């Protein structure tokens, strides 16, 4: 019996099949990683919003947060208006587009009042590539729609 080796054509076909399969898997993994990064950045922003609101109620002092568009993305900075030097480190968000109440914004100021109330009221829309997520401020700050008192207000 004669043993036959693989021909060059058979080896090339096998390599092409492996390259195509690895390309498909790589593309799916890349999309999953990008989706997770997007969700992770939004989770960090939500936590920063919540921390800012809770600091305002705990300290009984108003805080101001500024969401600004910069070259590589967005920066969210928060500082206490009533106590000099009280601020949180800036939070950097990359590759995200942000709209507020359906309009593109370059800068948005969010007031965190000592009563727990926040201003302005509305809807954030975050997008990256084909991913889109919406947040209502009443959901972020755990308030009923249209309710004007904050979560720590004595009349709640």
Dihedral sign, CA of 99, 133, 80, 60? Answer: positive
Give per-residue pLDDT as tens, 78-105.
999 888 888 999 999 988 899 999 999 8
- Residues β-bridged to residue 103: 100
Residue 155: what pLDDT? Answer: 45
User: Could you say which residues of the chain have pLDDT below 70?
Assistant: 1-2, 143-156
The pLDDT score that the predictor gives to residue 145 is: 46
Q: Is the peptide bond before 148 cis (omega within 30 degrees of 0)?
A: no
pLDDT tens figures, 67-76: 999 988 899 9
Q: How much is the pLDDT for 116?
A: 87
pLDDT score recorded for residue 1: 63
**Residue 101 CB coordination number (10 Å):** 13
Q: What is the pTM of this model?
A: 0.74
For the domain 32-140, what is the CATH code? 3.55.40
Could you tell me the residue ranges of all domains in the chain?
Answer: 32-140
């Amino acid at each position: 019996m004669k043993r036959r080796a693989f021909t060059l054509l058979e080896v090339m076909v096998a390599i092409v099949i492996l390259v195509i399969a690895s390309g498909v898997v790589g593309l799916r993994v890349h999309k999953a990683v990008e989706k997770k990064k997007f969700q992770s950045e939004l989770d960090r922003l939500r936590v920063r919003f919540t921390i800012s609101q809770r600091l305002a109620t705990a300290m009984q002092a108003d805080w101001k947060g500024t969401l600004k568009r910069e070259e590589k993305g967005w920066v969210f900075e928060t500082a206490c208006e009533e106590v000099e030097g009280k601020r949180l480190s800036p939070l950097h968000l990359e590759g995200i587009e942000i709209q507020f109440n359906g309009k593109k914004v370059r800068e948005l100021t969010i007031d965190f009042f000592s009563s727990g109330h926040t201003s302005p009221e509305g809807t954030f829309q975050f997008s990256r590539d084909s991913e889109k997520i919406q947040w209502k401020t009443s959901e972020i700050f755990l308030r009923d729609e249209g309710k004007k008192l904050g979560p720590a207000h004595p009349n709640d």
